[in-house]
Structure formats: structure tokens, C-alpha cells
A and B are shown apart, each in its own frame.
Chain A
Amino acid sequence: DQQVKQNSPSLSVQEGRISILNCDYTNSMFDYFLWYKKYPAEGPTFLISISSIKDKNEDGRFTVFLNKSAKHLSLHIVPSQPGDSAVYFCAAINTGGFKTIFGAGTRLFVKA
């Protein structure tokens, strides 16, 4: 039972354009959401997060949008750069618990 789903295994985008990565969740108790970025042979690194009391959080080129009614979040990268090519994991937390639930990841390719 996947509580956090990233339905696109991969995404290819031209440099300078927008990358949109999507994530859906099923557990309405999740109240904190995160995106992680992972390069080959490295550990995942935290990218950006959003609390369920917000619908948008922005950090430079990265913006996360949360639609609670649809149980959907998305990560926008504008403009996309070749260095953004990595695997992106969506994650969700019920802040009353200890665990973070991760999606399967989306591999982003940014073409120069």
C-alpha cells in the first residue's frame, strides 16, 4: 500500500524551461511534506518542504505547491538547469509520529 506515489518514473526537460514533478498521497493525517534530491552515489539531500497549513513555499528556483483537497503536491523548478538532473523523492510526515514515507522517485533529465 503506497501512501506516497510518484507516478512518473522519469521526466525530460529542456534547459531553461520549467520542470514539474508531481506527487500524490493517500493518508489525510500527513501534515508536512518534503522534497529530496539525489545524485548518483550520494545520499538524498533535503531540498524544500511545506506544511499543510500552507499551499505554496518558494526557495529560489524551487517552488512546492500543496493541494490538500486533492492530496497532491508538486515541485516546480524554474528555470531548469543541467545540474538539476537527479532523482527527486517526495516525502510525507505525520508530525505526531516518527516516520517519513517516501515516494519511489522521479528521475529528472535536463537537456542542455
Chain B
Amino acid sequence: DAGITQSPRHKVTETGTPVTLRCHQTENHRYMYWYRQDPGHGLRLIHYSYGVKDTDKGEVSDGYSVSRSKTEDFLLTLESATSSQTSVYFCAIRGTTDTQYFGPGTRLTVL
């Protein structure tokens, strides 16, 4: 158990509304990641963080922003949600090795 929680676990929202997903870790890991999982695409990296206030884009970052003001929290924001952002979102941390450990996921539906 890597001590990762995600909130909310499920969310339904309407197109055009802002949405923030939260990832919280209890083990003080430096690296944190946001992925989305879609059928046929596997896990695609949205953004990642390599320290407080240090973030960078992944392969599918358009329409998303992130913030990390504390080591333990990594927030993913959809400024104006679109139906194409309906997905399952996973947060991950990288432990002391190169292995990543995942949270339980947030299922987001944008109507």
C-alpha cells in the first residue's frame, strides 16, 4: 500500500464547468503523476511533478493544468470540462525505485 488516495472517486459534471481532482500521498515521495485511462489507449500521462511547484507536461496535457503546493498533494484541474475528458483518472507516485504505484482512480463523466 503506497498510501495514495484520490478524491472524489466518482464525479459527473457538465460541459464547460471547472473540475479539480485531488491526489494525496502519505509517504513524502518526490515524484507524482496524473494519467488517464481510456479503452485502446492504456495509461496516458497528463502531467507530472518532480517536487513542490515543479511540474511538467505529459503526452495529453491539453485542457488540463496541475498544481503542487505541498509534497503530499497533487491537484489536476480541468478548466472547462469537455466530453472528450470523460475518462478514468489515476494518480501515481514513484517510490524509491523506478516503480510507480497507483491510486484507486477517479471516474469522471462529462455530460
Which A residues contact B (CB, under 8 angstroms)? 6, 9, 32, 34, 36, 41-46, 49, 89, 91, 93, 95, 98-100, 102-105
Contact = CB atoms under 8 A, between A and B. Distances in A.
B31 A98 contact: yes
Given A98-B50, A99-B48, A46 B41 contact: no
A78 B73 CA distance: 40
A45 B99 CA distance: 10
A89 B42 contact: yes
Interface of B: 4, 31, 33, 35, 40-45, 48, 50, 56, 58, 90, 94, 98-105
Contacts of A102: 35, 42-44
B51 to A, nearest CB: 11
Contacts of A99: 45, 48, 58
Nearest to B10: A41
Contacts of B33: 100
Contact of B90 (A6, A43, A98, A104): A43
Contacts, number: 48
A43 B40 contact: no
Given A42-B105, A95-B98, A98-B48, 20 more contacts: A6-B42, A9-B40, A34-B99, A43-B4, A43-B90, A43-B102, A43-B105, A44-B102, A46-B99, A49-B99, A89-B42, A89-B43, A91-B100, A98-B94, A100-B33, A100-B100, A103-B42, A104-B40, A104-B41, A104-B42
